[in-house]
Amino acid sequence: MGILYLVATPIGNLGDMTPRAVETLQAVDLIAAEDTRHTGKLLQYFQITTPQISYHDHNRHGRTQELLAKLQAGQNIALVSDAGTPGISDPGQELVAACGALNIEVIPIPGATALIAALISSGLGTDRFVFEGFLPIKNQPRQQILQSLAQEERTIILYEAPHRLLATLTDLHAFFGQERSLTVARELTKYHEQFWRGTLETAIAYFTENRPKGEFCLVIAGAPVDEVPSFSEENLRDELKSLINKGLSRSQASKQLAEATRLPRRQLYQLSLEIE
């Protein structure tokens, strides 16, 4: 019976590759990579000649069985993602679960993880946190998750792509309120690494003026315990209008905003009637 190694790779700076990761990738029989071309550049840099096989969202169901057969035949396999630790925001979890069901040994080779790098650099609470990865793109599941997170008291960590950053900040503003603190980490460990700190309101202003570039990690303060946020009528009307423009009825928008803000639904519905 072979062993599945979960090998973390750098999230930007190649100096973060550990000697143990290099040794493992050199020693295994096969490397299962999210993108073989991307991983190929990393292997070439570290002079690793181990053969690769693709393992990603579009082929994971069939490929999982193929990899399990190889492991059961005695081959050792390393699983890597495009960057960081495999199994986080990638399809690795399915393979790990399948190995567990078949009593195939799984060994982690720790290393870089974007969410932890962003969290410890944020200045926000690190004792309790929740990681949500990328928010859904489709409106209904996205709104449901944001609604549930609005009252989350733990620090919240999200990943986001540059072309969706402003839309996500706007949605967070609608559900969390304008004064919620956050740190926006950009291009972690890379040459243009940046940490921007402020509130959701000032974040929208900053990234409207400064076009988002690179990959982003958002670290958002948890909801204040037993504290009802303060919203002006103008802000509430803006949030209601935004929800209505997304296709919600006045009643649905009022209900959703009431759950997010803990304000009376009837009060919000009356405000919604003022929107043309």
Q: What is the structure's pLDDT at 229?
A: 59
Residue 160: what pLDDT?
97
Cα angle 83-87-90, degrees, rounded to a multiple of 5: 65
Q: How far is CA 143 from CA 94, 96, 128, 242, in A?
A: 26, 30, 23, 12
Q: How confident is the model at residue 226 (pLDDT cuts 50, 70, 90)?
A: low
Task: Please give the tally of structural domains in the chain.
Answer: 3
**CATH code where residue 68 lies:** 3.40.1010.10
225 part of a folded domain: no
pLDDT at 257: 87
pLDDT at 109 over 60: yes
Decide which of 87, 112, 137 is a domain's last residue. Answer: 112
CATH number at residue 179: 3.30.950.10
Domain that holds residue 79: 3-112
Q: What is the DSSP string of 224-247?
A: PTT-PPP--HHHHHHHHHHHHHTT
- Whether 143 and 255 have beta carbons less than 8 Å apart is answered as no
pLDDT, tens digit, for every residue of 164-196? 999 999 999 999 999 999 999 999 999 999 999
With a cut of 90, say whether residue 237 has pLDDT above it.
Answer: no
The token pair at 88 is: 């986080």
pLDDT score recorded for residue 4? 98
Q: Is the pLDDT of residue 249 over 60?
A: yes
Q: Is there a domain that residue 162 lies in?
A: yes
Q: Is pLDDT above 70 for 227?
A: no
- Average pLDDT value over all residues in the chain: 93
Say if pTM beats, i.e. exceeds, 0.95: no
DSSP 275: -
| 180 in a structural domain | yes
| pLDDT above 80: residue 225 | no
Average pLDDT on 5-30 reads 97
Identify the domain boundary among 81, 112, 143. Answer: 112
| One domain for residues 148 and 242 | no
Question: pLDDT at residue 265 above 70?
Answer: yes
pLDDT at position 61, please?
A: 84
Residue 210: predicted pLDDT: 95
Task: Kindly tell me if the per-residue pLDDT of 228 is higher than 60.
Answer: no
Looking at the structure, tell me whether residues 189 and 261 fall in a common domain. Answer: no
* Cβ–Cβ < 8 Å for 159, 89: yes
Whole-number pLDDT of residue 255: 87
pLDDT at 6 over 70: yes
pLDDT in tens, 86-100: 999 888 999 999 999
